[in-house]
Amino acid sequence: MAQAVELNGKKILVTFLMHLGDLTLTTPFIHALRKAAPDAHITFLADEKLKDVVLHNPYLDEVITIDKKGKDNSLLALIACARRLSKMDFDVLINLHPNERCSFIDAFTKVKLRCGT
C-alpha cells in the first residue's frame, strides 16, 4: 500500500507539456494540490506557447516554460532543462502526463520524490 507523503512546506514541480485543452483540465488538480499543501512552493512546467493558461493561476507560485516545438526541440535542450530544474532543488516532482518529453525531462531531473513518471 502507498504511504502518504506530507506535501506542505515542500518545493513541488508539476510537469505537463500537452495541448491547450489538456492543460486547462489540470486547473482542478492545481487547486486541490494547493489546498492540500497551502505552504508549499508550487512550480509548473508548461509549453511556452501555452504559458498564459497557467501564468496567472493563483494557486501556482512560479511557471517555467520550454519551447517544445521550437528552440527546445532537441535531446540536448531537454537535458539542459532538466539540469536547470535540478538546480532548483525540488522536493517533489509530479508528472501529470507522462509523455515522452515530460518523462525524459523528469528522468534527468534530480528530485527527492517523484510520481507519475
> Mind listing the domains of the chain with CATH numbers?
14-115 (3.40.50.2000)
Smallest Cα–Cα separation from 44: which of 5, 90, 3? 90
**pTM listed for this prediction:** 0.89
Q: How far apart are the C-alpha atoms of 39 and 95, rounded to whole Å?
A: 20
Confidence of residue 1 (pLDDT cuts 50, 70, 90): very low
Q: How many CB atoms lie within 10 A of CB 19?
A: 11
What is the per-residue pLDDT across 5-64, written as a single tens digit (0 to 9) for each? Answer: 788 999 999 998 888 888 888 889 999 999 999 999 999 999 989 888 888 899 999 999
Region 86-93 average pLDDT: 95
DSSP 14: E
Beta carbons of 112 and 94 less than 8 angstroms apart: no
**3-state secondary structure (DSSP) of residue 38:** coil
Q: What is the mean pLDDT of residues 76-98?
A: 92
> Residue 76 is placed in which grid cell?
540536448
At what angle are helices 100-108 and 75-87 packed, to 10 degrees? 50
Please spell the DSSP secondary structure of 63-93, one letter per residue: EEEE-TTTTT-SHHHHHHHHHHHHHT--SEE
